[in-house]
């Protein structure tokens, strides 16, 4: 094996480790909720949901500026900085002595994840020839699915002793990956340009936080209370300001030129909708198994695991098919199957435990849908971008994913507030179903997935919303 081959293999491994631990850390927290409730006994479910939401909010708000920074400063440097920060924050989370400290350090962990995510896909695609980028996307999404699958049994096992152990699991992987990545990861071209809009970053973070807080606390505060109305107004004003700022600032947090590319805009809408359903599923399933069926956290984790395993199994071939034949059909089928899983659970599950005949079929069906639609979402949102804007576009897609996840968790936390009964979980499963179906339908409007030539974003073709044609050697055979 040549030194170049070894270096390329190690670089791919380091990138996928970053993707893996990010996926593990998002879902492993869900599994640990029952354990956390024992430690923080005075905290409500809506308060505990901020352990997830704090991560999701900072992750979502910083993804786009992180992508811009990666394009300007080099993806290798930004990825390694994010991986190191994520690892350090994991150690601080494990040592947290109060819910407030845990939430704050989870936000710091979200910063590290936000630095990693936009760089990861761009770095990975750079290690594959153009005609094999479907394999790269499939690997990227499959490893995320494997991380999700590993999070459930691993989290259930670790949380049996202490929820703090779920953060410690990141430390050895993170340390080793940083050490190897310094040597193995390739350097990328740097793009000159203005400094990203720092005020816009702060406003977007506050906007998302206000909207998530209004939704998650609405049940306990009252939907007509001054707090909820005030937060909703702040969120609405923040959205208006963010749009106006984006149209005027030379380096806005959300680039209008990218959103004028039809596939990019639709891909991000579909991503936000789908991950709203994922957030609803992630919180409702483990709570249903542990509260309605009274299963242990470990048993519930094992019962959820087949779904993510199915997702990982289908993600790589789906990535290849999505790039070769188009994202519309595959994405629609994936969305329908994911939706069908939510409908199945809502109609079939009741207070009598029935894993094999009730929960497992929905888990497998939903997992297959998950694996099919994820590469289609990634392809729609990124592959029409020029190479030098890949980190920015990946950051935008990941931001949509995290905002959707945060809203899904917040909505379900509100539905399940207090002492949730079977009817509450049925509503949560139908929220999952509706979001999955809406995402699949949004992908139907996606056009051919082509990557434009470098520096074409922002030219008249992009501004008018028409996608520039891709060079013959990189054009996808999409319908």
Write out pLDDT tens, residues 225-258. 999 899 999 999 999 998 888 888 887 777 787 7
Say whether pLDDT at 144 is over 70. yes
d(CA 231, CA 224): 11
Say whether pLDDT at 463 is over 50. no
171: burial class by Cβ within 10 Å (0-12, 13-18, 19+)? middle
Rounded to an integer, the average pLDDT of 66-92 is 88
Q: At what angle do helices 75-94 and 3-31 cross, to 10 degrees?
A: 40
Say whether pLDDT at 357 is over 70. yes
Say whether pLDDT at 468 is over 50. no
The secondary structure of residue 474, as a DSSP letter, is T
The answer to whether the beta carbons of residues 443 and 380 sit under 8 Å apart is: yes
The answer to whether the beta carbons of residues 208 and 50 sit under 8 Å apart is: no
pLDDT at 388: 66
Q: Which comes out higher in pLDDT, residue 206 or 195? A: 206
d(CA 307, CA 451): 32
The answer to whether the beta carbons of residues 86 and 108 sit under 8 Å apart is: no
Give whole-number Cα distances, 93 to 103, 156, 176, 257, in Å: 8, 18, 19, 38
The answer to whether the beta carbons of residues 289 and 295 sit under 8 Å apart is: yes
End-to-end CA distance of the chain: 40
Question: Which range, 73-77, 225-229, 324-328, 346-350, is most confident?
Answer: 346-350
Closest CA to 285 of 310, 269, 308: 308
The answer to whether the beta carbons of residues 454 and 471 sit under 8 Å apart is: no
The answer to whether the beta carbons of residues 362 and 308 sit under 8 Å apart is: no
Rounded to an integer, the average pLDDT of 118-145 is 78
Question: Which range, 119-128, 138-147, 319-328, is most confident?
Answer: 119-128
d(CA 187, CA 180): 14
Q: Which two tokens stand for residue 183?
A: 């040597």
- Average pLDDT of the chain to the nearest whole number: 82
Q: Which comes out higher in pLDDT, residue 22 or 13? A: 13
Q: Give the distance from CA 115 to its chain's centroid.
A: 14
Q: What percent of the chain has pLDDT over 70?
A: 88
Q: Which residues contact 401 (CB under 8 A, 6 or more apart)?
A: 271, 272, 275
Q: Which residues contact 406 (CB under 8 A, 6 or more apart)?
A: 52, 53, 56, 57, 60, 208, 212, 279
Rounded to an integer, the average pLDDT of 70-82 is 86
Find tokens 């170049």 and name the residue: 4
pLDDT at 122: 78
Say whether pLDDT at 311 is over 90. no
Say whether pLDDT at 320 is over 70. yes
Domain boundaries, the chain: 3-185+253-463, 197-252
Closest CA to 318 of 335, 342, 303: 335
193: burial class by Cβ within 10 Å (0-12, 13-18, 19+)? exposed
The answer to whether the beta carbons of residues 368 and 310 sit under 8 Å apart is: yes
Helix runs in 190-326, H state only: 198-221, 226-248, 256-259, 262-287, 297-304, 306-325
Q: Where residue 478 falls among pLDDT bands split at 50, 70, 90?
A: very low
296: burial class by Cβ within 10 Å (0-12, 13-18, 19+)? middle
d(CA 70, CA 29): 28
The answer to whether the beta carbons of residues 366 and 357 sit under 8 Å apart is: no
Q: Which residues contact 436 (CB under 8 A, 6 or more apart)?
A: 273, 274, 277, 335, 336, 338, 339, 341, 342, 369, 373
The answer to whether the beta carbons of residues 261 and 385 sit under 8 Å apart is: yes
pLDDT at 138: 75
Rounded to an integer, the average pLDDT of 183-195 is 72
Domain 3-185+253-463 of CATH type 1.20.1250.20: yes
Find tokens 């929220």 and name the residue: 431
Q: Which comes out higher in pLDDT, residue 220 or 192? A: 220
pLDDT at 404: 85
Q: Where residue 149 falls among pLDDT bands split at 50, 70, 90?
A: low
Give whole-number Cα distances, 49 to 24, 54, 222, in Å: 17, 9, 18
Rounded to an integer, the average pLDDT of 326-354 is 94
Closest CA to 423 of 344, 363, 349: 349
* Number of C-beta neighbours around residue 147 at 10 A: 24
Say whether pLDDT at 145 is over 80. no
Question: Of the ranges 188-192, 385-389, 452-456, which one carries the lowest mean pLDDT score?
Answer: 452-456
Q: Where residue 341 falls among pLDDT bands split at 50, 70, 90?
A: very high
Q: What percent of the chain has pLDDT over 90?
A: 29
pLDDT at 467: 35
Find tokens 């499959």 and name the residue: 142
Q: Which comes out higher in pLDDT, residue 420 or 339? A: 339
């Amino acid at each position: 094996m040549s030194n170049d081959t070894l270096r390329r293999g190690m670089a791919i491994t380091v990138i996928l480790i970053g993707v893996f631990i990010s996926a593990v850390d998002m879902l492993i927290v869900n599994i640990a909720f029952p354990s956390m409730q024992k430690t923080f006994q005075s905290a409500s479910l809506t308060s505990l949901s901020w352990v997830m939401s704090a991560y999701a909010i900072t992750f979502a708000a910083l993804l786009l500026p992180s992508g811009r920074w990666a394009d300007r400063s080099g993806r290798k440097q930004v990825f390694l900085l994010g991986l190191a920060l994520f690892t350090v924050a994991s150690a601080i989370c494990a040592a947290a002595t109060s819910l407030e400290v845990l939430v704050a350090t989870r936000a710091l962990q979200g910063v590290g994840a936000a630095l990693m995510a936009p760089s990861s896909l761009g770095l990975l695609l750079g290690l594959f020839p153009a005609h094999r980028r479907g394999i790269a996307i499939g690997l990227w999404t499959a490893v995320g699915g494997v991380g999700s699958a590993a999070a459930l049994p691993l989290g259930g096992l670790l949380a049996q002793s202490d929820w703090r152990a779920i953060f410690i699991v990141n430390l050895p992987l993170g340390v080793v990956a940083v050490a190897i990545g310094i040597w193995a990861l390739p350097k990328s071209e740097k793009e000159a340009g203005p400094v990203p809009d720092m005020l816009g970053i702060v406003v977007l973070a506050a906007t998302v936080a206000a909207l998530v807080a209004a939704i998650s606390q609405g049940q306990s505060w009252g939907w007509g209370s001054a707090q909820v109305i005030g937060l909703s107004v702040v969120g609405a004003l923040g959205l208006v300001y963010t749009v106006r700022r984006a149209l005027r600032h030379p380096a806005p947090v959300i680039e209008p030129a990218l959103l004028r590319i039809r596939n990019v805009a639709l891909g991000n809408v579909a991503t936000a909708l789908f991950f709203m359903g994922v957030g609803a599923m992630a919180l409702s399933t483990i709570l249903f198994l542990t509260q309605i069926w009274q299963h242990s956290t470990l048993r519930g984790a094992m019962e959820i695991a087949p779904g993510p395993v199915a997702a990982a199994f289908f993600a790589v071939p789906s990535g290849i098919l999505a790039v070769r034949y188009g994202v519309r059909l595959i994405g629609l089928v994936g969305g329908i199957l994911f939706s069908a899983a939510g409908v199945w659970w809502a109609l079939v599950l009741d207070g009598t435990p029935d894993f094999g005949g009730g929960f497992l079929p929905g888990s497998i069906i939903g997992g297959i849908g998950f694996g099919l639609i994820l590469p289609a979402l990634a392809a729609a949102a990124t592959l029409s971008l020029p190479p030098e804007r890949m980190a920015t576009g990946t950051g935008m897609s990941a931001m949509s994913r995290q905002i959707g996840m945060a809203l899904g968790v917040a909505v379900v936390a509100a539905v399940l507030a207090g002492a949730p009964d079977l009817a509450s979980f049925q509503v949560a499963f139908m929220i999952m179903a509706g979001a999955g179906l809406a995402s699949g339908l949004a992908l139907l409007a996606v056009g051919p997935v082509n990557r434009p030539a470098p520096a074409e974003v922002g030219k008249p073709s992009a501004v008018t919303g028409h996608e520039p044609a891709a060079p013959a050697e990189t054009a996808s055979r999409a319908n």
